[in-house]
Amino acid sequence: MQVQTINVEIKKTLEILGVNLINDGTSTGSENFSNGEIIESISPVDGHLIAKVKSTSAADYEQVITTATEAFKIWRTVPAPKRGDIVRQFGNKLRQRKEALGKLVSYEMGKSYQEGLGEVQEMIDICDFAVGLSRQLHGLTMHSERPGHRMYEQYHPLGVVGVISAFNFPVAVWAWNVALAWVCGDVCVWKPSEKVPLCGVACQKIAAEVFAENNLPEGISSLINGDYKVGEFMSKDSRIPLISATGSIRMGKIVAKEVAGRLGKSLLELGGNNAIIVTPDADIKMTVVGAVFGAVGTAGQRCTSTRRLIIHESIYEKVKQALVDAYGQLRIGNPLDENNHVGPLIDKEAVNMYKAALNKVVEEGGSIIVQGGVLSGNDYQSGCYVKPAIAEAKPDFEIVQHETFAPILYLLKYSGDVENAIAIQNNVVQGLSSAIMTNNLREAERFLSVAGSDCGIANVNIGTSGAEIGGAFGGEKETGGGRESGSDAWKVYMRRQTNTINYTTELPLAQGIKFDL
């Protein structure tokens, strides 16, 4: 493929975000610092080269960690509400540049412009959440068994937090982590996916503005670019007490092993194989909307994308026909054109995995009822545009057990009561998001009960994707068990300390132990 020159509109977008290009197309912010290899950011939208970014060498990495460690000594002493005000300022800058950052997300990653804007809005929302949280980092007080003693618990910042993010949410997942980590008093070192490095550069530029305007050290927010080798620097580094990693199960197992080997902490958000159960009491119209968006949104490249639709046999044909009709209305094309529903996959490797999955389901005895395929022509010159496909399959097919990051929806049939559907849903190694479509209260409550969905997220009458920041986000089993964003997810970014204060002139021991001198 011949790489062409970036268009004027995107260059202007980068300038708005403070990402200026030098003569060879390298983004500013890396050329004066890094000695690493060149990473080319190529848009899946049109196959054009956007810019080049230098990756982080081992020597560069050492300087970054040293800078971050020194910044932590200052940042941790700033009162939490003051740290919250810094995050508020960051959120306001995101509001000012929402359209530009949303456009860059769409162009560099390939998701629709509306989804790009939505991702930036998630960043703004988590900043708002974190501002309030900065005045609520509370501990507990408890009664001591010893007279004249007081006990309490408090939380302190961990130190340097490492964030490894994936291409599919190139900015929001980083913001989920840093907004909470910053108000907790941590500093952050971020390695974005090498497939979307410019989104990382843009976010770092915005954050750096805020810290500079407040005369705070730049090491509170640090960016390192590169492939898995840079991630290895972080995973093995005992100076980073917490690694928050988002990506594949394979990647997560490697990170978890390395971090556990040095007794560090890891927050893992890994793969999903998400299902919607459709019972005889489901609203079919709602089901179709939820399933289609869940399956084709972000071209099926969300960890919460709907992969499996588990439909009761009594309404199976009706739901299937409604889905086929809905897929016939999908418009595939440039994601910056808001008339289109589906943009491209991230790269040719993703296209190959998509094709292999469709071949595999047929080999196992399934049938394709909405045909897939790779689109070609002037509007699809990147070679990354594919048709969303629907396949009829069985729950025990090997391909159905795996997550394919592409717009492929498997239809599975169940009979009997909802327990059978729940058993099918739970019979995969992933445990991120799940949903049931039903107007039957008993079915809904059964799905949410202790013997129901085994996922970290369980929804009723909405799809599997589209989580709000107020709730903790994450999954169970091989999804990793991590929790980010809302609720009490902030606690993972802090260390817990129990304190006992004796305000008497005596020194009684716990459990009534006598030790007289």
- What are the residue numbers of the active site? 269, 303
By CB atoms closer than 10 A (0-12, 13-18, 19+), residue 328 is exposed
What separation in angstroms does the CA of 202 have from each of 93, 173, 402?
12, 15, 34
Q: What b/e sequence results for 257-271 when a residue is b if at least 16 CB atoms lie within 10 Å of its CB, and e otherwise?
A: ebbeeeebbbbbbbb
Residues with Cβ within 8 Å of 283's Cβ and at least 6 positions away in sequence, in order, are: 437, 439, 461
Q: How far apart are the C-alpha atoms of 282 and 275, rounded to whole Å?
A: 15
Read off the amino acid at residue 210.
Answer: V
Q: Does residue 48 contact residue 223 with C-beta atoms inside 8 Å?
A: no
Q: How far apart are the C-alpha atoms of 308 and 412, rounded to whole Å?
A: 7
What's the farthest any 2 CA atoms get from each other in the chain?
Answer: 90
Q: How far apart are the C-alpha atoms of 185 and 79, rounded to whole Å?
A: 9
Residue for token pair 């800078």 = 67
DSSP state letters, 6-18? PPHHHHHHHHHTT
Q: How far apart are the C-alpha atoms of 301 and 388, rounded to whole Å?
A: 12
Q: How far apart are the C-alpha atoms of 415 and 427, rounded to whole Å?
A: 16
